[in-house]
Amino acid sequence: MPYQSAYPTITGSIFEFGFSYAIVQMWAAFCDEVVNVAAMSQPFFCVTPEEAAERHRLFTAALESYETGATVALL
């Protein structure tokens, strides 16, 4: 089944989307955001370190809640 990536690739949609394509897409998104922040090719910005840390806290709390069966407060 063909796919449509956010940034065009040499092979287009004729090959299976894999890890190497994912890395290239992430680098393209990062470079696009750095160079063209006002007119990016796609509508989503890259995740910031603060957002990544927030997700880690959320997932850690979810794991703790699952193991203990208790509600875990996010601070």
50 and 37 in a common domain: no
Can you give the pLDDT at residue 52? 95
Check pLDDT > 80 for residue 15.
no
Can you give the pLDDT at residue 66? 97
Structural domain of 72? 45-75
51 and 27 in a common domain: no
65 and 38 in a common domain: no
Number of domain units in the chain: 2
* pTM: predicted TM-score of the whole model, two decimal places: 0.63
| Whole-angstrom distance, CA of residue 61 vs CA of residue 71 | 9
| Whole-angstrom distance, CA of residue 62 vs CA of residue 67 | 9
Can you give the pLDDT at residue 50? 95
Task: Estimate to the nearest angstrom the gap between the alpha carbon of 60 and the chain centroid.
Answer: 19
Q: How many CA atoms lie within 13 A of 13 on its CB side?
A: 7
51 and 33 in a common domain: no
55 and 27 in a common domain: no
61 and 32 in a common domain: no
Can you give the pLDDT at residue 12? 65
pLDDT in tens, 27-67: 999 999 999 888 888 888 899 999 999 999 999 999 999 99
34 and 59 in a common domain: no
What's the CA angle centered on 9, arms 7 and 14, to 5 degrees? 120
